[in-house]
Chains A and B, each alone.
Chain A
Amino acid sequence: VTLKGKPRFSDFNLVPENWGADIHAWLVVFAAKYPFLEELRLKRMAISDESLEFLAVSFPNFKALSLLSCDGFSTNGLAAIATHCKNLTELDIQENGIDDKGGSWLSCFPESFTSLEVLNFANLSSDINFDALERLVGRCKSMRVLKLNRSVSLEQLQRLLVNAPQLAELGTGSFSEELTFRQYVELESALSNCKNMHTLSGLWDAKGIYLPALYPVCTHLTFLNLSYAALRSDELAKLLAHCPRLKRLWVLDTVEDKGLEAVGLNCPLLEELRVFPADPFDEEIIHGVTEAGFVAVSFGCPRLHYVLYFCRQMTNAAVATIVQNCPDFTHFRLCIMNPGQPDYITNEPMDEAFGAVVKTCTKLQRLSVSGRLTDLTFEYIGRYAKNLETLSVAFAGSSDWGMQCVMGGCSKLRKLEIRDCPFGNAALLSGLEKYESMRSLWMSACNVTMNGCRLLAREMPRLNVEVMKEDGSDDSQADKVYVYRSIAGPRRDAPPSVLTL
């Protein structure tokens, strides 16, 4: 079972904490009616330690637990899972709001336990008992995914790898302590024995001098996640020279345009690129990547179809070039970090950039726009983005007309999330017919009023129209609106701050 709960903007703290999406009620029902449950994958759900304990004891055949961007639990809950799930094959804990009370949970796996294939605890910060981990990895001969947290040292990594050369995906621990020459050689040797490894991540605090130890592994790599390693352009370039088969690459913008040039030069098979900002909130910094880096990648990587790019400057011309080089984009997520920023050379809005994207990339499924945008952008989107399913908009648009174009034109639209845009009731209501065929609509800090929401709720009874008010705001304003279809009617677990109209 895969369940996704809160609106995506809850990742960015826009959703009140106790909004809902608690898993417990589901577990109770499953335990009664479907105790054979083996796999549970949760995204943006609230899950407590009690729920985890309940899960651990109620489903005897339980095998795989994956928690992404969830919250409400602590490492005690993980201990319960480790203790009771005798057949566990997968424990994947990613980017959650977890209360990390210590690493002893890992020691809760019984000594007789050997079935684990996937273990990802990269996002937990506290130290785990390394001996317990070493023994666990040693006896789980089918382990193929191991993602360590930062507390695991390079030397410890080597010891683990020696016993697990079969690993297909590795997330290293900290990549930065002082190694003796012999330790370095041993590490390199252990890595080179991992012939099946296709995914590499972690590399926290990576020191450039140790990166060459990875070279033997790099030849087979298809996914390299360097988004926690602040590498310089030269360090990345050297590393990428050894990664000809790379299909997915995640980096920090510390690699700068020069690093991205190296991507274009060395990774012709690249299909996905994500560039994250090392300093997203410090606007005084003018470095990171620019349009030049993105263009360089597009010239070298014609198969690129997924991009997430955080930058501080962009031009319409550059985007036009990019999509000309890579017309197969399915996911185009561009975040110009300064809200409402125009083309920095011409000072024009970025309308033509996204116009080029939707005109050229006919397979486009997901689009995130940014920069200064007028309604023209949305006219383009409505007119050309016929396969668009997910659209994210922030600090953009000039009037209701923009959103109306999207609602009228994008027939396959499923998820629309909007923040800080001048779209009001007319825009909201233009989608009246459409929302039932969509998964959800989010509008926050727009010009929608309570009356507009009430009208929507009245006209469309099979929609849940939820309004979240903020403290101190005008009574008539609907600060945050979340609209989704439901055959079960209004939910009963909403907190007082969330009104279902």
Chain B
Amino acid sequence: MSPPLLGVEEEVQSSVSSPSVECISENGMGLKERNYLGLSDCSSVDSSGVSSNLNLKATELRLGLPGSQSPERETELCLLDLGKLDEKPLFPLLPSKDGICSSSQKNVVTGNKRGFSDTMDGFSEVKGYVYTEKSWMFHEAGSDSESPQSVGHGKYPGNSGINVILSTRSPGVQASVKQDEPANVLQEQPRATNGTSLKQTVISNNNTCAPAAKAQVVGWPPIRPFRTKTLAASSKNNDEVDGKPGPGALFVKVCMDGAPYLRKVDLRTYSTYQELSSALEKMFSCFTLGQCGSNGTAGKETLSESRLKDLLHGSEYVVTYKDKDGDWMLVGDVPWEMFIETCKRLKIMKSSDAIGLAPRAMEKSKANNKKEFGYGC
């Protein structure tokens, strides 16, 4: 897989081939501009020698309000150097109550210098950056990030192939880039049929604002339950189709708590958990990674070895997957072949959110093992 996170454009091209890609490039906005990861000058990375520099701090993604305090935060963030991460990730750390709208109006510099801070308002900045380019505007009603009225809105070119999904209501809520495809359009999250919808997005840090509050207005929008039930069933079908094993690629979505967009991986390109885990790391390591703080900067290899197991055993993050039955399971319990047959979706969650997952997963996998492999446990 090509180095991920060079920008949204890259992401689109690497994950799905679809007409939306043409739309993107036709879009005069140019995705290279949309470089909220600070990669507009990737080419300059080489010249600046960052890539050879193992400047690990520079490889961290820290998002925050421009101009906010950012210790040691200098220049470009180049995510080509993913493998060199060994710093503590700062991605979704602390909830910040700074007004989202204040950042949104600023046109964040497209160049190298960005002020980052260890706060979650990175989301707002991200959005401000992305969308001021595309003439988005934000609700001024809610200067408080927790105000139910503050929802980001904006225009977007009608033929843009990329639809970025955001919510300004709560920092830390996952934002995902979705390609313009039917399967992606219909959300996977289960939804209640009667207008009260519970947010299924896992909030990756202990944010106090509750995005679910607004979503639970009974009977709003005014749509008959039959319709919402049917559409929910449709989207579930689409997801199943999405992850259906068969010849050819087996793409499943991968999301990570706090990451602004999802990725997709083709499970068929790996043959072991090890390979999958390194790939996931590469994809998401700029957002975060587990407790690698005390390790030395030994280079890429340290990170990829048994990374998944590290993640599983007491690290900050765990990798989970959703199986055919809709249950969320811990990755790694079942044989690889069995795993790819049942895996519909991957999710990198914070360990704290995964509490309680493991025991059930273990039981289920034991049951499965007993059934299928005749293990005596």
Residues of A within 8 A of B (CB): 9, 11-14, 69, 95-97, 123, 204-205, 227-228, 230-232, 234, 252, 254, 256-258, 261, 276-287, 290, 292-293, 310, 312-313, 335, 337-342, 344-345, 347, 392, 394, 419
Given A230-B186, A230-B231, 8 more A-B residue pairs with CB atoms under 8 Å apart are: A12-B219, A205-B237, A283-B167, A290-B158, A293-B158, A341-B149, A341-B151, A394-B222
B residues near A (Cβ < 8 Å) are 19, 137, 139-141, 149, 151-156, 158-159, 163-167, 169, 173-176, 178, 180-182, 185-187, 189, 191-192, 194-195, 197, 201, 211, 214-215, 217-228, 230-231, 234, 237-238
Q: Is A11 a contact of B180 with CB atoms below 8 Å?
A: no
Question: Once the chains bind, are A228 and B166 in contact (CB under 8 Å)?
Answer: no
Question: Are B151 and A281 in contact, with the CB atoms below 8 A?
Answer: no
A-B contact pairs, 14 of them (CB 8 A): A228-B230, A230-B186, A231-B182, A256-B158, A257-B158, A276-B227, A281-B215, A284-B166, A284-B201, A286-B152, A310-B221, A344-B139, A347-B137, A394-B222
CB-based contact B156/A254 at 8 Å: no
Chain A minimum-CB-distance residue to B162: A287
Question: B227–A227 contact, CB under 8 A?
Answer: yes
Say whether B219 contacts A261, CB under 8 Å: no
**Chain A neighbourhood of B167, CB < 8 A:** 283-284
Cβ contact within 8 Å between A14 and B218: yes
Q: Which of B164, B181, B220 contacts A394 (CB 8 A)?
A: B220
A281 and B228 contact, Cβ closer than 8 Å, known pairs A231-B182, A287-B185, A292-B158: yes
Pairwise interchain contact B158-A276, C-beta atoms closer than 8 A: no
Distance of A310 Cα from B219 Cα, bound (Å): 14
**CB-CB nearest in chain A for B224:** A11
Q: Is the CB of B151 within 8 A of A338?
A: yes
Residues of B within 8 A of A310 (CB): 221, 223
Nearest-CB residue, chain A, relative to B227: A276
Contact between B194 and A13, CB atoms less than 8 A apart: yes
Closest B-chain residue to A347, C-beta based?
B140
**Are A14 and B219 interface neighbours, CB within 8 A?**
yes
B351 CB, min distance to chain A CBs, angstroms: 24
Given A14-B219, A230-B234, A285-B187, are A344 and B154 neighbors across the interface (CB < 8 Å)?
yes
Whether A278 touches B224, Cβ cut-off 8 Å, given contacts A283-B151, A284-B173, A342-B141, is no
Contact across chains for A340 and B182 when beta carbons are under 8 A apart = no
Q: Complex: how many Å from CA A310 to CA B231?
A: 15
Q: Of A123, A261, A344, which contacts B137 at CB under 8 A?
A: A344
Whether B163 lies near A287 (C-beta < 8 A) is yes
> Is the CB–CB distance between A339 and B153 below 8 Å?
no
Taking a contact as CB atoms closer than 8 A, the residue among A228, A284, A292, A344 that contacts B234 in the complex is A228
> Is chain A's binding surface mostly helix, strand, loop or mixed?
loop
Residue of B nearest to A336 (CB): B221
Closest A residue to B197 by CB, please name it: A281
Measured between beta carbons, the chain B residues less than 8 angstroms from A227 are 227
Instruction: Tell me, rounded to whole Å, the shortest Cβ–Cβ distance linking B293 to chain A.
Output: 32
Whether the pair A69, B224 counts as a contact (CB closer than 8 A) is: yes
The distance from the CB of A256 to the nearest CB of chain B, in whole angstroms, is: 7
* B141 to chain A: closest residue by CB: A342
In the complex, are the beta carbons of A276 and B219 less than 8 A apart? no
Find out whether the CB atom of A313 lies under 8 angstroms from the CB atom of B197: no
A284–B191 alpha-carbon span in the complex (Å): 14
For the complex, what is the distance from the CA of A230 to the CA of B185, rounded to whole Å? 8
Q: Are B187 and A286 in contact (CB under 8 A)?
A: no
Docked complex Cα distance between A254 and B183 (Å) = 11
User: Are B195 and A13 touching (Cβ within 8 A)?
Assistant: yes
State whether A258 touches B159 (Cβ < 8 A). Answer: yes
Chain A: CB-nearest residue to B230? A228
Q: Which residue of A lies closest to B218 (CB)?
A: A13
Q: Are B182 and A234 in contact (CB under 8 A)?
A: no
Is the pair B226, A123 in contact by a Cβ cutoff of 8 Å? Answer: yes
Chain A residues positioned under 8 Å from B187 (CB to CB): 279, 282, 285
Residue of B165, B180, B219 with highest tally of chain A CB at under 10 A: B219
CA gap between A312 and B136 in the complex, in Å: 13
Chain A positions within 8 Å of B192 at CB level: 281
Given contacts A230-B185, A258-B158, A287-B185, contact A11 B222 (CB under 8 A): yes
In Å, the complex CA distance between A12 and B152 comes to 26
Report yes or no: B181 in contact with A286, Cβ–Cβ below 8 A: no
Max count, chain B CB within 10 A of own CB: residue among A13, A204, A347:
A13
Query: In the assembled complex, how far is the CB of residue B156 from the closest CB belonging to chain A, in whole angstroms?
Result: 7
Interface centre among B182, B195, B222, B230 (most CB of A within 10 A): B222
What residues of B have a CB within 8 angstroms of the CB of A12 in the complex? 194-195, 218-220, 222-224
The 3 tightest CB contacts between A and B, nearest first, are A12-B219, A281-B197, A257-B158
Smallest CB–CB gap between B216 and chain A, Å?
A: 9
| Chain B residues near A95 (CB-CB < 8 A) | 224, 226-227
State the CA gap A347–B156 with chains docked (Å).
17
Q: Which residues of the partner chain B approach A345 to less than 8 Å between Cβ atoms?
A: 137
A286: chain B residues at CB < 8 Å are 152-154, 156, 163-166
Which interface residue of B139, B180, B192, B231 has the most chain A CB atoms within 10 A? B231
Taking a contact as CB atoms closer than 8 A, the residue among A9, A204, A282, A285 that contacts B219 in the complex is: A9
Please give, as numbers and ranges, the residues of chain A lying within 8 Å of B225 by CB-CB distance.
11, 13, 97
Chain B minimum-CB-distance residue to A368: B222
CB-defined contacts of B141 to chain A, threshold 8 Å: 342, 347
- Inter-subunit contact B223/A339 (CB<8 Å): no
* Contact (Cβ within 8 A) A280 B137: no
Q: How far is the CA of A96 from the CA of B226 in the complex (A)?
A: 7
Alpha-carbon distance A230/B223, docked complex (angstroms)? 16
> Which B residues touch A231, using CB under 8 A?
182
A residues near B166, Cβ cutoff 8 Å:
284, 286
- Name the distance in Å between B107's Cβ and chain A's nearest Cβ: 18
A340 contact set on B, CB distance < 8 A: 149
Which residues of chain B are within 8 angstroms of A228 by Cβ–Cβ distance? 230-231, 234
Q: For residue A235, which residue of chain B has the nearest CB?
A: B182
Closest-CB distance, A173 to chain B (whole angstroms): 13
CA distance A233 to B299 in the complex (A): 47
Taking a contact as CB atoms under 8 Å apart, the answer to whether A205 and B221 are in contact is no
Which one of A69, A123, A277 lies within 8 Å of B221 (CB-CB)? A277
- Decide if B191 touches A282 in the complex (CB within 8 Å): yes
CB distance from B277 to the nearest CB of A (A): 28
Q: Which residues of B contact A258 (CB under 8 A)?
A: 158-159
Could you tell me if B219 and A13 are in contact, using CB atoms closer than 8 angstroms?
A: yes
Q: How far is the CB of A353 from chain B (nearest CB, A)?
A: 16
B19 touches A290 (CB 8 A): no
Q: Which of A9, A232, A282 contacts B189 (CB 8 A)?
A: A282
Known contacts A230-B185, A347-B140, A283 near B221 by CB under 8 Å: no
Nearest chain A residue, comparing its CB with the CB of B167: A284
Question: What residues of chain B lie closer than 8 Å to A287, measured between beta carbons?
Answer: 163, 165, 178, 185
B163 touches A285 (CB 8 A): yes
Q: Give the contacting residue for A276; candidates B154, B169, B186, B223; CB below 8 A.
A: B223
Q: Give B204 Cβ to nearest chain A Cβ, in Å.
A: 14
With a CB–CB cut-off of 8 A, which chain A residues contact B154?
A: 286, 313, 344
Q: Give CA–CA (A237, B245) in the complex, Å.
A: 32
The reply to whether B155 and A290 form a contact with Cβ atoms under 8 Å apart is: yes
Docked pose: A312 CA to B163 CA in angstroms: 14
Contacts of A338 in B (CB 8 A): 151, 153
